[in-house]
Amino acid sequence: MIRFENVGMRYGMGPEVLRDVSFHLAPGSFHFLTGPSGAGKTSLLKLMFLAQRPSRGLITMFGRDIATLPRDELPTMRRRIGVVFQEFRLLDHLTTYENVALPLKIQGRNEDSYRADVHELLHWVGLGERMKARPPTLSGGEKQRAAIARAVVAQPDLLLADEPTGNVDPEMGQRLLRLFVELNRLGTSILIATHDHALVSSAGLPELVLQNGGLIVRG
């Protein structure tokens, strides 16, 4: 489903942050992405959620070479990918409900068709009582759960999460992991970038390890 072949990436004229990265994520797979800070985890995720182009190499997503994909087809592809950003990137002026419903709204769907689903999902992640709250009034953990809810609400084929358990206690971390496992069971491929070794070892799932810009697959 996602294939990277000898992908390199640099910002402007700077040094390569990713070098000869090659891997393949099969449909329905679940991987962790680990590595020390600065190893290029976020850069790799940016390539995968189509925020950056690689400097070299080949990236194939859902069977399409992204280098030759016309620009007006990118939104359709992005809608198949749910992203939990490291810094959440919730829109402060919208309520939690509106933030979570945003991926459905931009698809042009009528609010009546998704209101109940969004309410359900918000209850599921424990934000049922915080629907009308705006992000500045949410705790770190609540923001994180809202960001996760926004990433999964449109039932993406691929979920990318950058440190999704970084701001929650271990109990909530485990609960979110169960949410991801459940999503994965329903067919969504998942890649979670994390520093949380306990989470990775408790899950017992394969790991993509980034080190010095290179990548190895473990497990």
CB of residue 80 to another protein, shortest distance in Å? 8
Q: Is 145 exposed, middle or buried (0-12, 13-18, 19+ CB in 10 A)?
A: buried
Nearer to another protein, 73 or 169 (CB): 73
Minimum CB distance to another protein, residue 120 (Å): 5
Phi and psi at 186, nearest 5°, equal: -85, 5
| Nearest-angstrom CA–CA distance, 147 and 216 | 29
Q: Minimum Å distance from CB 182 to another protein?
A: 6
User: How many angstroms separate the CA atoms of 17 and 136, rounded?
Assistant: 33
Q: Count Cβ atoms below 10 Å from residue 210 Cβ, excluding itself.
A: 22
CB of 58 within 8 A of CB of 12? no
Closest to 42 in 3D by CA, of 200, 195, 185: 195
Site residues (CB under 8 A) for another protein?
Answer: 27-28, 49-53, 72, 74-79, 81, 83, 89, 91-95, 97-98, 102-103, 105-108, 115-117, 119-121, 123-124, 128, 131-132, 150, 155, 157, 179, 182-183, 186-188
Q: Which C-beta is closer to another protein: that of 121 or that of 168?
A: 121
Comparing CB distances to another protein, the nearer of 67 and 216 is 67
CB of 112 to another protein, least distance (A): 10
CB-nearer residue toward another protein: 8 or 28: 28
Task: Pick between residue 106 and residue 216 the one whose CB is nearest to another protein.
Answer: 106
Min separation Cβ 201 and another protein, Å: 25
Strands 56-61, 207-211: parallel, antiparallel or unpaired by DSSP?
Answer: unpaired
What's at 187, amino acid-wise?
Answer: G
